[in-house]
């Protein structure tokens, strides 16, 4: 079975924010704080559109863990 590289990129972004503790609005992190290069543009934007990565308006984001736990994090 081959896992698409896009799914791997998304998973890395999600895991980086979760490892940085960005699991809620109050613990949201910037890309720099999470160690994520924002140049991952397309996949980063897909995560935002899917509601997995939630922007807080101040350059910080958090992961909506309820969506991630449902398995949506690997959608293309």
pTM as predicted: 0.82
How many distinct structural domains can be found in the chain? Answer: 1
Angle between helices 5-19 and 41-49 (to 10 degrees): 70
User: Domain holding 42: CATH number?
Assistant: 1.10.10
1 or 67: which leads in pLDDT:
67
Q: Which domain holds residue 57?
A: 5-74
In sequence order, what DSSP letters do the residues of 14-69 get, joined into one string? HHHHHHTT-SSGGG-EEHHHHT--GGGHHHHHHHHHTTSEEE-SSSEEEE-HHHHH
Asked which of 18-22, 30-34, 51-55, 72-76 is least confident by mean pLDDT, the reply is 72-76
Q: Name the band, by pLDDT with cuts 50, 70 and 90, for residue 64.
A: very high
Convert the pLDDT of each residue in 36-57 to its tens digit: 876 557 888 999 999 999 999 8
């Amino acid at each position: 079975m081959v896992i698409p590289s896009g799914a791997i990129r998304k998973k890395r972004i999600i895991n980086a924010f979760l490892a940085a503790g960005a699991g809620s609005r109050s613990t949201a992190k910037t890309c720099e704080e999470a160690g994520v290069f924002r140049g991952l543009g397309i996949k980063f934007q897909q995560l935002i559109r899917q509601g997995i990565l939630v922007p807080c308006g101040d350059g910080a984001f958090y992961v909506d863990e309820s969506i991630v736990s449902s398995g949506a994090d690997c959608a293309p």
